[in-house]
A = this chain, B = another copy of it.
Amino acid sequence: MKKLSLLVCIACAIGFAQNSDEKQVKNIYSTSLLDGQSYAWLDHLSNKIGGRLSGSENAAKAVQYTKAELENLGLDKVWLQEVMVPKWERGKAEEAYIVDGNNKIQVPICALGGSVATKNGGIEAEVIEVKNFEDLKLLGKEKIEGKIVFYNRPMQADLISTFEAYGGCVDQRYAGAKEAIQYGAVGVVVRSMNLRLDDYPHTGAMSYGDIAVSDRIPAAAISTKGAELLSKQLKSNSKTKFMFSQHCKQYEDVLSHNVIGEIKGSEFPNEIIIVGGHLDSWDLGDGSHDDGAGVVQSMDVVRLLKKTGYQPKRTIRVVLFMNEENGLRGGRKYAEVAKEKGEKHIFALESDAGGFTPRGFSFDCSEENFAQVQGWRQLFKPYLIHYFEKGGSGADIGPLKDDQIVLAGLRPDSQRYFDHHHASNDTFDAVNKRELELGAATMTSLVYLFDKYGIKTSQKIKR
């Protein structure tokens, strides 16, 4: 009988915990949908400030704005963390033409982030179309030298995750110039990382590796429709030329900041949970999805915890990282300082996949901790949050990785993300208020659970 009573007590306790978790999660979702702040914050960040490329005046404005807003929330501490960031500017608008004899057809391009400018007046050369770096090898210097290399491998449309399709293509953008230089190319044009056929060129980071500045060649993205047109022209006339001019410039590194705010834990203040997104964006749109959404959702996580009357046991930090797009300096700096201080981070969550309807999370953690998370799935079911898988988390929190932390990334619906990613149509109107708020609530609920239950640490004993 005693055993039975004990079992009944345990069952009651579990039942009570589940019930109180259900209530708190419901409270979080309702508060976000009825009284969320993320959409108003995003409105300001997107429409009052705009694109926030690292080292720009707008990036500095965004630092000041978000710091002030976090201070308004009455957190225990809000501060800026200094970080040196690269500064690259696009300069005046790019121009490009497909040149077929006397026939010139204008097409939409944009310089890739980090590219050098063309010489004044632009460059014009014959074009060689390739699908990958293997093609360069097969063609050899003979067929490439003096030409513009046109990378035209499209994102694979039959992959369900558009991020997987992106991952399968982005080498063309990131390393395309570096590779083409080996074969004497004079420029690089890359099909935009976009699954849709449209007129938006999509920028993004590229690298020349350790190639000397004097040997670098300009690299641009062309819209998907432009890429289709250029490819068609080349099929009808292999002597078709391409002309493009761009005026971008790399400056010396400049001082910028991560923005950090925290609520001190009431029971385990030395166990730190962070939630974040990146404050910088590309310069073409206003960075609403990438990653204004992640920034304001992360800010709303600490606000929603307070608003719902929850007192965290552990220290909860919101971290708005600088320079995810072209350097990851903010993410690296945060981890470096955390290590120096001997801080113990138990959970880090990043939102950097757009402000669309949340579907769940991807976890980078031990099997044991993943099993713990699986136990919380049912709590999310009423909110249609169903995706709990192992995988990557987020670029900014990556440098925190060790075997004592759970890293996670919010996973929103990905189908529309690359329609807007790094392009001039990544704007406020493409974000739906409810979808954004559901994301904030989903993140807050997971932070709440990690705060309440901590992480299983038996693996520490084993090691």
Residues of A participating in the B interface, judged by any CB pair closer than 8 Å: 29-30, 33-34, 157-158, 160, 162, 195-196, 357, 359, 382-384, 386-387, 413, 415-416, 419, 432-435, 438
Contacts and interface: CB of A to CB of B under 8 A. Distances in A.
A29 B382 contact: no
B387 A415 contact: no
B435 A160 contact: no
A359 B384 contact: yes
Among A29, A158, A162, A383, chain B packs the most CB atoms within 10 A around the CB of: A158
A431 to B, nearest CB: 11
20 contacts: A29-B158, A34-B157, A34-B158, A160-B383, A160-B438, A162-B434, A195-B434, A196-B433, A357-B357, A357-B413, A359-B384, A384-B386, A384-B387, A386-B386, A413-B413, A415-B432, A415-B438, A416-B432, A416-B435, A419-B432
Contacts of A435: 415-416
A144 B429 CA distance: 40
A289 to B, nearest CB: 14
A308 to B, nearest CB: 13
A225 to B, nearest CB: 14
A34 B195 CA distance: 11
Given A34-B158, A384-B386, 13 more contacts: A29-B160, A30-B158, A157-B434, A160-B382, A160-B383, A162-B434, A196-B433, A357-B413, A384-B387, A386-B387, A415-B435, A416-B432, A416-B434
A386 B386 CA distance: 7
A152 B244 CA distance: 56
Nearest to A162: B434
Nearest to A433: B196
A29 to B, nearest CB: 7
Nearest to A196: B433
Q: Top 5 A-B pairs ranked by shortest CB distance?
A: A386-B386, A30-B158, A33-B158, A415-B434, A33-B157
Contacts of A382: 160
Contacts of A415: 357, 432, 434-435, 438
B384 A160 contact: yes
A33 B415 CA distance: 12
Contacts of A160: 29, 382-384, 438
Contacts of A30: 158
Among A195, A359, A383, A384: residue with most chain B CB under 10 A: A384
Nearest to A160: B383
A201 B461 CA distance: 63
A416 B432 CA distance: 7
Contacts of A162: 434
A308 B412 CA distance: 30
A384 B435 CA distance: 17
Contacts of A386: 384, 386-387
Contacts of A158: 29-30, 33-34
Contacts of A434: 157, 162, 195, 415-416
A33 B162 CA distance: 12
A176 to B, nearest CB: 25
Nearest to A418: B434
